[in-house]
Amino acid sequence: MRVCLIGPSHPFRGGIAHHTTLLYHHLQNRHEVSFYAFKRQYPRWFFPGRTDRDVSKKPLREDGAQHILDSINPITWWAVYRRIKKEAPDLVIIPWWSSFWTIQFWTIATLVKRFSSAKVLFICHNVVDHEHRVFSKRCARAVLRKGDHFFVHSENDARRLREVLSPAAHITHVFHPLYDFFDHGPISKTEARTRLGLEGDTILCFGFVRSYKGVDHLLAAMPLILRSRKVTLLIVGEFWEGREAFAEEITNLGVWDAVRVVDKYIPNEEVGLYFSACDLVILPYVSGTGSGVIQIAYGLEKPVVATRIGSLGEVVEDGKTGYLVNPGDPRALADAVIRFFEEQKESEFVENIRHAKERFSWERLVTLIDTETAGAKANCEETPTSPAVPLIVDQNAKPSAGSGAPR
């Protein structure tokens, strides 16, 4: 099958760029794929973090990516369409996660649908924006109605997409695959803690700090945890909002001795260090559809405490690979953390994660793309399988200028 993929990749950072790049890599093992990547993702005034560029010394990249799409230059949208038309693909894959991309993706998808025979698959990381702006559903409807097939990562998003489009929409629920490329060699827990200046039990909250992620509830849980056990909370990720209020809350709770804050985007080569240092990863989200942080945790074999939000409750097996609690409940978060340590669940949960990894493989995602979009080409099963393509994690690339923001 001939496939055209659109989306971000290096030199841009974050989970969507990683997802699209890894998808391109694994699709190439079976199909002929063209990857149209961004040369500008967001205008500087729009992006809430310090930069949208990846500062990693070991970035995830693919040499075949064609960097031609500029978010604010319509000429490049037309150029992407022209290349797609010339390629005459059977399938065009577009990620959808933010209403910022409404005009760009609507334009490209409309041209593809009108002037080519290709089918369009949207991989919906979020059907509507995390912030649920007034216009989010309208934007999603305008763009996604151009699709033939839709992949979502949670049943909640599947329901939302049916509300936005139609109960008859061709929707496939597929788990977000693992991010396991951060493992750049074994780092023992002892070594990781020594390098970070940590001692004893450690829990990790990783990624961009935004209000919907509920980090304030995790902070509120810390005094309850500390009454039973000495634990260090690592909060690692760039603050997109509320940095001063957050610091004030730590002071008011009197838990500065038990909290470490790393307010920056973590480059790829350092991600494994923070996960290796922790015993347990915490996702205290109060809203949202899912998170790539669990896929990092599972890829590095770390148990998780998460709230029953979106796909989190579908990915974490309660009592097997971690614990699930209700959102907005500091007491429940504290009880789960205390139980994990007191019942010494780490080795049991890690073993269960190893057995669960197959559910989150990239090969499974590609197989679902093949089967669910089989109508994109009548003789799809006759497409020759390409030789395996090596994944490139650049060991020599220099970091981009500027500092970054977490996932």
pLDDT (average), residues 306-318: 92
Q: b or e along 349-384 (b: 16 or more beta carbons within 10 Å of the residue's beta carbon)?
A: beebbeebeeebebeebbeebbebbeebbeebeebe
Between these two residues, 225 and 356, which has the higher pLDDT value?
Answer: 225
DSSP letter string, 259-303: EEEE-SPPPHHHHHHHHHH-SEEEE--SS-S--HHHHHHHHTT--
pLDDT (average), residues 309-320: 92
Domain 2-177+361-393 and domain 189-356 have a common topology = yes
**pLDDT at site 244:** 87
DSSP letter string, 152-201: ESSHHHHHHHHHHS-TT--EEE-PPPP--TT--S---HHHHHHHHT--S-
Between these two residues, 382 and 228, which has the higher pLDDT value?
Answer: 228
* Residue 133 banded pLDDT, cuts 50, 70, 90: low
Q: In what order do the strands lie in the sheet with 149-152?
A: 66-70, 32-40, 2-6, 91-96, 119-124, 149-152, 171-173
| DSSP3 helix / strand / coil % (the chain, rounded to 5) | 40, 20, 40
The pTM (predicted TM-score) of the whole model is 0.85
**pLDDT at site 132:** 59
**pLDDT at site 368:** 95
Amino acid at 92: V
> pLDDT for 109-127, tens place per residue?
999 999 999 999 999 999 9
* Residue 71 banded pLDDT, cuts 50, 70, 90: very high
pLDDT (average), residues 181-198: 86
pLDDT (average), residues 277-300: 91
pLDDT (average), residues 16-36: 96
Cα–Cα dist 170/175, whole Å = 16
Share of the chain above pLDDT 90, in %: 72
pLDDT (average), residues 274-303: 92
Query: Is a pLDDT exceeding 50 seen at residue 383?
Result: no
**pLDDT at site 310:** 84
Query: Is a pLDDT exceeding 70 seen at residue 172?
Result: yes
Work out whether the CA dihedral 3, 76, 7, 271 comes out positive or negative. Answer: positive
> pLDDT for 340-350, tens place per residue?
999 999 999 99
Question: What is 189-356's CATH topology?
Answer: Rossmann fold (3.40.50)
Q: Where are the domains of the chain?
A: 2-177+361-393, 189-356
**pLDDT at site 46:** 76
> pLDDT for 230-266, tens place per residue?
999 999 999 987 788 889 999 999 999 999 999 999 9
CATH for 2-177+361-393 is 3.40.50.2000
Task: Tell me the pLDDT of the chain averaged across its residues.
Answer: 88
Q: b or e along 186-212 (b: 16 or more beta carbons within 10 Å of the residue's beta carbon)?
A: ebeeeebbeebebeebbbbbbbbbbee
Query: Is a pLDDT exceeding 90 seen at residue 303?
Result: yes
pLDDT (average), residues 163-179: 92
* Residue 211 banded pLDDT, cuts 50, 70, 90: confident
Of the given ranges (42-56, 196-210, 325-339), which has the lowest mean pLDDT? 42-56
Q: How far from 289 is each of 39, 159, 235, 244, 330, CA to CA, in Å?
A: 28, 11, 21, 27, 20
**pLDDT at site 130:** 64
